[in-house]
Amino acid sequence: MTPMLFSLVRLAAAALLAAGLALPAHAAEFHPAIKRPFNPAPAADLGYVLKARYRGLALDGNALVKWRAADGTYQIGVEAHAMIFGKVQSSSSEGGIDSYGLAPVTAIEKRFRKSPTTVTFNRSDNTMTFSASTESYPLLGGEQDRASILWQLIGNARAAPKKFVAGSNWLYFVAGRTDADAWNFKVGKTEKVATPLGTLDAVKVARLLPPGSREQQLDIWLAPSLEWYPVKLRFSEPDGEVFEQILQRITRQ
């Protein structure tokens, strides 16, 4: 992409972002590098009740998220278990914390009955590479993976709550299993969320997808009264599979 074309794509994507719209497929090369205030959430283990719909079956289970951040580094570990199937997903991310926020070094994802995939953020030569493809991207600053993006968003909300308001949009460059693209999150209204911890006020945040996308839809409910921890998450696949997590316990570390 030429510098002029790259600039035009950036301008077009920025205009869509300002309008609160999802980025279309032709804007996939848009690579935002946006520096924002960042305040990581306190380290904790978060336990969730899992409700899933998988191949027409309604499944119950549990999920555990381990979040750590100290001394300029972070680690994330996620495991989800469902009745009958056992472990249905696990992921991890680890790296440093820089002026953009979380700076992943390695991210690993393992989905049910599929081989694990790894994303490597090569800080020595500033490239992002994938074990499951030959794609690569430059590291411009602020890039995330599918595990770290949630905690990057939380850190940005904690650092600038007056900007994290309904109608605002937050753009990031996120690595998936085989490639990476811009993710646009739109902040919604505060909603009441019923949890085993009680009914909590939570800010809904939704990933905006372009029309016809086959990507996973992500909806998040963050509770300002609980350090902005996610009290509810919903992962929706294009084939109709849905995984929903409701917070049931917090163990501070």
Share of the chain above pLDDT 70, in %: 89
Rounded average pLDDT over 178-182: 94
Report pLDDT digits (tens) over 148-159. 999 999 999 999
Per-residue confidence (pLDDT) for residue 26, from 0 to 100: 47
Rounded average pLDDT over 182-194: 97
Report pLDDT digits (tens) over 156-170. 999 999 999 999 999
Q: Is residue 164 part of a domain?
A: yes
Question: Which of the residue ranges 31-45, 172-186, 201-215 would you say has the lowest mean pLDDT?
Answer: 201-215
Q: Is residue 11 part of a domain?
A: no
CATH of the domain at 247: 2.40.360
Range of the domain at 124: 23-252
Q: Is residue 106 part of a domain?
A: yes
Q: Is residue 41 part of a domain?
A: yes
Report pLDDT digits (tens) over 119-131. 999 999 999 999 9
* Sign, Cα dihedral of 60, 154, 164, 194: positive
State phi, psi for 124 to the nearest 5 degrees: -75, -35
Average pLDDT of every residue of the chain: 89
DSSP 178: S
The domain total for the chain is 1
Rounded average pLDDT over 126-147: 97
Q: Is residue 5 part of a domain?
A: no
Ordered DSSP codes for 196-220: TTEEEEEEEEEEE--TT--SPEEEE
